[in-house]
Copies of this chain bind each other. A is one copy, B any other.
């Protein structure tokens, strides 16, 4: 009989890393709870008890890749805040994140459950964090509240990652992302 203990935070983090590695290897469609159980040496019962479904597990694993504490960033300038977001990641994480996004974009379309879980765990929290950063820039007078680019901040940043994959056939790294912020995001916002 499975013990009904909670997983430790450390064990949970291990599981999420294994899920993401597996996801990057085989893609969402081929990712099964059986494969996750085998790779992580867990029982399927444990996985289902903790996460209920594959979409939820994947969304939480992706959520966990986000650097913590983005909502505390407040350097005093919009450029400083964007740079600080970048400072909390590294090129290998950016590479894995963009590989995962590339592999998930079709799966998200084909699986409404995954879409909803990702929206809740990843897209909405990230948009709220960016909104808070931009709102403070507006309060400081750096950005005009009427600037039409304000509603496209997340679009510009996500678009930067994908267009690097497609047009340059490369994974975005920190240097590229910083250039894009300076050349596109900040000028569009009038900074």
Flag if A180 contacts B167 (CB, 8 Å).
no
The answer to whether A163 touches B156 (Cβ under 8 A) is yes
Chain A, interface size category, equals 35 or more
A105 CA to B154 CA, complexed, in Å = 20
**A5 interface residue (CB < 8 Å to B):** no
1/0 per residue, CB under 8 A from B, across A150-161: the answer is 011011101110
B156 and A187 contacting across the interface, CB-CB below 8 Å = no
A187 — which chain B residues lie within 8 A by C-beta? Answer: 149, 187-188, 190
A152 contacts across to B, CB distance below 8 A: 163, 180, 183-184
From A123, A127, A159, name the one whose CB has the most chain B CB atoms within 10 angstroms.
A159
A157 to chain B: closest residue by CB = B163
- In the complex the two chains form, is A109's CB within 8 Å of B102's CB? yes
Q: Give chain B residues whose Cβ lies under 8 Å from the Cβ of A69.
A: none
Q: A103-122 interface mask toward B, CB cutoff 8 Å, 1 = contact, 0 = none?
A: 10110110000010001000
- Contact flags A64-107 to B (C-beta < 8 A → 1, else 0): 00000000000000000000000000000000000001110110
A141 within 8 A of B: no
Within 8 A of B (CB), among A133-165: 147-149, 151-152, 154-156, 158-160, 162-165
- Counting from the closest, the 6 A-B pairs by CB-CB distance are A159-B159, A148-B183, A155-B163, A162-B162, A159-B163, A158-B163
* Chain A residues with a Cβ under 8 A of chain B: 27, 101-103, 105-106, 108-109, 115, 119, 123, 127, 147-149, 151-152, 154-156, 158-160, 162-167, 169, 179-180, 182-184, 187-188, 190
A-B contact pairs, 6 of them (CB 8 A): A152-B183, A158-B166, A159-B160, A183-B188, A184-B184, A188-B188
